[in-house]
């Protein structure tokens, strides 16, 4: 009897478990088909219809979760105040900022790029200081703001070809090296030939800029390269000549008032007929377009001997066109910005 009662109790327990499981399964099955927006059978009895509808008021923090008529009125007042027109002071400030930005834009438009400066340096073949002076000139030109083109003209030499080219490459300056093989007995003839080669190179490639002949013995004020960029056609300036054996300074170049050239410094004071002495090659600069477009500056396009002796043509044009010649610096033409040192050809040892 005891075993039968135990088996009946176990059967009842299993029946209850099966019935409970089947009820839960059926309820879960039908609950899954119920729509999500509506309240389900298991929803809390305190939940109202507000939870199923979307409120037009965005959610707020917990302390502002209750909405009343006063809160809605306050919100409308805040919105109306934010949409109110700005005061006059703020509008004036906005106008000032706009005017400042417009002025900055105008200033940016007015900025013009710097013009190209073409420096031509002929190297004397028999100058024993040429390597030292060439390096000194390179150190000077490195301080000049770009754009700048350095044209170096020298005689071809197998022994110095490699050293000269290597030195020029290490300077970091934009340069062009021109060599020649002709022999000359006169120093002036050799220098004029080198300058003509440089001018032909400029004319052939139509390099547009201000051309200046810089000797290796020249010493410059860096402001000099800033001033010559203002030259339109021709420009000139005074130059001081210094000698190692003499305790005096000789000034050559123009005598001018402001930027207008009035006359020239005479080498001989007693010579009154020398109104226009030969101008020094380093005391003037010119616009390179005079070489390939002379008609632009009122010069005839075909002149005899121009191609063969360009440097002579340039000197002649500079001295003839006084109206287009501008003295530098424009504010004070008497200011010395260029010095030329004359080194002795022989050195003596002091005993």
What pLDDT sits at residue 214? 97
Task: State pLDDT tens for residues 95-137.
Answer: 667 776 666 665 555 567 889 999 999 999 888 889 899 999 9
* pTM score, whole prediction: 0.66
HEC letters along the chain: CHHHHHHHHHHHHHHHHHHHHHHHHHHHHHHHHCCCCCCCCCCCCCCCHHHCCCCCCCCCCHHHCCCCHHHHHHHHHHHHHHCCCCCHHHHHHHHHHHHHHHHHHHHHHHCCCCCCEEEEEECCCCCCCHHHHHHHHHHHHCCCCCCEEEEEEEECCHHHHHHHHHHHHHCCCCEEEEEECCCCCCHHHHHHHHHHHHHHHHHHHCCCCEEEECCCCEEECCHHHHHHHHCCCEEECCEEEEECCCCCEEEECEEEECCEEEEECCCCCCCCCCCCCCCCCCCEEEECHHHHCHHHHCCCCCCCCCCCCHHHHHHHHHHHCCCCEEECCCCCCCCCCEEEEECCCCCCCCC
Give the pLDDT mean for 284-305.
80
With cut-offs at 50, 70 and 90, classify the pLDDT of residue 302.
low
Q: What is the mean pLDDT of the chain?
A: 77
CATH topology of domain 117-342: Spore Coat Polysaccharide Biosynthesis Protein SpsA; Chain A (3.90.550)
Best mean pLDDT range from 52-61, 71-80, 295-304: 295-304
With cut-offs at 50, 70 and 90, classify the pLDDT of residue 24.
confident
CA atoms of 193 and 189, how far apart (whole Å): 6
Residue 64 has pLDDT above 80, yes or no: no
pLDDT over 70, % of the chain = 67
Residue 102 dihedral angles phi and psi, to the nearest 5°: -65, -40
């Amino acid at each position: 009897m005891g075993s039968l009662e135990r088996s009946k109790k176990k059967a009842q327990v299993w029946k209850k478990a099966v019935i409970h499981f089947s009820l839960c399964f059926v309820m879960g099955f039908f609950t899954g088909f119920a729509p999500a927006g509506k309240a389900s059978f298991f929803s809390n009895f305190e939940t109202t219809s507000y939870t199923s509808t979307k409120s037009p008021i965005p959610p707020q923090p917990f302390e502002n979760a209750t909405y009343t008529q006063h809160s809605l009125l306050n919100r409308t007042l805040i919105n109306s105040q934010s949409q109110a027109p700005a005061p006059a002071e703020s509008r004036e400030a906005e106008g000032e900022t706009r005017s400042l930005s417009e002025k900055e834009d105008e200033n940016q438009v007015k900025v013009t790029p710097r013009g190209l400066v073409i420096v031509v340096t002929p190297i004397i073949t028999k100058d024993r200081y040429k390597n030292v002076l060439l390096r000194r000139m390179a150190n000077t030109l490195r301080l000049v703001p770009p754009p700048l083109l350095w044209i170096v003209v020298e005689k071809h030499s197998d022994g110095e070809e490699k050293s000269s080219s290597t030195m020029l490459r290490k300077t970091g300056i934009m340069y062009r090296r021109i060599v020649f093989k002709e022999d000359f007995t006169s120093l002036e003839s050799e220098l004029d030939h080198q300058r003509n080669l440089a001018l032909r190179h400029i004319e052939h490639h139509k390099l547009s800029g201000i051309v200046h002949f810089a000797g290796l013995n020249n010493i410059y004020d860096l402001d000099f390269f800033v001033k010559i960029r203002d030259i339109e056609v021709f420009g000139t300036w005074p130059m001081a000549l210094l000698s190692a054996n003499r305790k005096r300074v000789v000034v050559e170049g123009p005598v001018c008032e402001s930027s207008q050239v009035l006359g020239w410094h005479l080498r001989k004071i007693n010579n009154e007929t020398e109104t226009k002495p030969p101008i020094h090659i380093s005391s003037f600069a010119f616009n390179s377009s005079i070489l390939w477009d002379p008609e632009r500056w009122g010069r005839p396009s075909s002149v005899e001997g121009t191609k063969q002796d360009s440097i002579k043509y340039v000197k002649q044009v500079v001295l003839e066109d006084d109206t287009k010649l501008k003295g530098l610096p424009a504010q004070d033409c008497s200011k010395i910005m260029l010095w030329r040192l004359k080194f002795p050809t022989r050195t003596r040892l002091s005993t």
